[in-house]
Amino acid sequence: MGMSTLLRFAPSPTGELHLGNLRTAFLNWLISQKLGGKLLVRVDDTDTKRNLPGAEEKIFRDLKWLGIHHSHIEHQSKRGDLYTDVIKGLVASGSVYPCFCSTELLEEERQAMLKMGKPPRYSGRCRNLSSEDVQKKIAAKEPFCYRLKIPHDRGTVKWDDLIRGPQSFEADHFGDFVLTREDGSATYNLASIIDDVDMNVTHIVRGEDHVSNTPRQILIAEAVAKIPGIKASLTRKIADVRFGHIPLLLAADKTKLSKRNGAKTVEEYQKEGVLPVSLKNALALVSWNPPEGKEILTTEELIQVFEIGKMSTHPSVFAESKLQWINSEHLKRVPQNEKVQLAEPFLKDLAGPIKITEKILDLVWPELHVLSEIPLKLKPLLAPESQTPTEFDKKVAQAWLDCFTADFGLWQKDVQNSTGAKGKNLYFPLRRALTGQEHGFEMRDLVDILGETLIKERLKNYVAS
C-alpha cells in the first residue's frame, strides 16, 4: 500500500458540514493516515441548482479547523469532457442503450412489480428496440436517457467490505439502470466511479446508504474498462478497489442524525468551544471501540491504535453529553501557556474590573465542559448579582469590612471573634458580597484575585443594599 494508498472525501457544496458527513471525512482521513496514504477531496459540484455560494469555502475551512489535511482537490464540474467521452465510448461499444420510457410508464411498471411481490426494477422494454425504432424516436426528439446493458450472465457482484465483510448482490436484481440524465449529463453513479478509478482511489469509504450503489458502480467500471481505446487509467481493475460502508449516525431519538433532529455544524461546535481533538475523539468512538477501553485519545494515539477491521457494523447514537465529557477531559490536558489563547474568543464580551489571567482561568478550567462556559463561570468575579442581605448578614459583612487584613487566616479569626459567627454564618455573607453566590471559588483564591480595593467596595455595597 504505502504512499500509493489514496482515499477520498466527496462533499457537495450544498450546505455546511454536519456530523454525518464530517465523520465520513474524518474516517477517510484517519484510515489514510493509518495506511500511510493520502486523502483527496473531490468536490461533487455538478448540481449547479443546489450549490450554495460560499459553501465550498466553508467546507474547507471546517476541514482545516478539524485538522483533516488533503493532498489535492478535484472538482467534478471540470471533468464533464471525460464523462462525455466515456458515455460516447459506452454507446459505441454497445454497453448502453437509449431508454425513452416516460416517468409515468416507469411508475406503472414499478407499482405492478410491487403488487406481484417483486422488487421494482426496470423491465428492459427499450433494450430490444430495433435500430430503426431508436432512430425514429431520436428524430422525433423524444427525450431519452442511457441505461447500462447488464449482461444476462453477469451473475453475482461481490466485494469484501472493509467494515461489513463479504457482500454479494445478483446483477439482475438491479435491472438495467440509468447512467445519464435526459440532458446527456452523467448520473451520480457514473461520474463517481469514473472519478474514483481515474484518480486511482484505492479505498472508497462512505455511508451505508451507498451499499446499493456499490454493485452498480462495479458494473459500470467493468463496462468502462472494456471500451476500446479508453483512457488507460480507466482500465484499472475495479477488483483492486476496496469499499467500506460506515453505519448510520443516529440522534438521541434513534433516528438518522440530521439538521432536523439536532445535528450541529462544525461552526456551531467551534462557537461552543469544543476542541478539534475532542470532536475527532468522539467521532472515532461512535465508529469503533478502542483497545483496553481507553476512551480519551489524542489524534496521534487514534492513528496508532485504530483498526479498520474492528469498526462497528451497527448504527451508533451520537450523544452530546458524551462529547462534552470527552471535551472536558481534553481541556484538562491543555498546556498552561495555551489556556489564555483558547479562552480569548470567549472573553470578548466580558467586561469587569479584573484582567483575566492564567491564574484566574485555572480556577474555572477543571469545571469546564466547553469553552463557552467560561463567561458564566467568571461572571461572579466580574459582576456579582445584587443581593438582599438580612440584618445579621449585614452585621457579619460589616465586620469583614472593618477587620480587613491581607492575611486571610488572621482576617477570618478577627471576624469570628468580633461576631461570634461560625461556618456558613461566617463565610456566606462574605461570599455573597464578593460574588453574589454561596458556593464557588476557594476563599483564599478569591481574596487574592479581587484585591483589597475591590473587596472593600463590594462589602460596602453589600452592607448598603
pTM: 0.89
- Does the pLDDT at position 391 exceed 60? yes
- Contacts (Cβ under 8 Å, ≥6 apart) of 449: 354, 359, 360, 363, 381, 441
Segment 11-37 shows an average pLDDT of 94
Nearest to 33 by CA among 374, 304, 325: 304
Supply the CATH classification number for the domain 391-464: 1.10.10
- Does the pLDDT at position 308 exceed 50? yes
- Does the pLDDT at position 299 exceed 80? yes
- Looking at CATH, the fold of the domain delimited by 2-75+248-329 is given as Rossmann fold (3.40.50)
Please tell us whether the domain made up of 79-246 is placed in CATH 1.10.10.10: no
pLDDT digits (tens, 9 = 90+) for 92-148: 999 999 999 999 999 999 999 899 988 889 999 999 999 999 999 999 999 999 999
Between these two residues, 338 and 349, which has the higher pLDDT value?
A: 338
- Does the pLDDT at position 201 exceed 70? yes
Across 80-114, b (16+ Cβ under 10 Å) vs e yields eebbeebbebbeebebbbbbbbeeeebeebeeebe
2-75+248-329 and 79-246: identical CATH topology:
yes
Strands 316-317 and 249-250: parallel
What residues pair up with 148 in beta bridges, in sequence order?
96
Segment 140-158 shows an average pLDDT of 96
| pLDDT attached to residue 2 | 40
| pLDDT attached to residue 1 | 38
Q: Residues 189, 217: contact at Cβ < 8 Å?
A: yes
Across 227-262, b (16+ Cβ under 10 Å) vs e yields beebeeebebebeebbbbbbbebbbeeeeebeeeee
- Contacts (Cβ under 8 Å, ≥6 apart) of 49: none
* Residue spans per domain, the chain: 2-75+248-329, 79-246, 334-382, 391-464
pLDDT digits (tens, 9 = 90+) for 162-183: 999 999 999 988 999 999 999 9
Segment 197-219 shows an average pLDDT of 97
Taken as a whole, the chain contains a residue count of 465
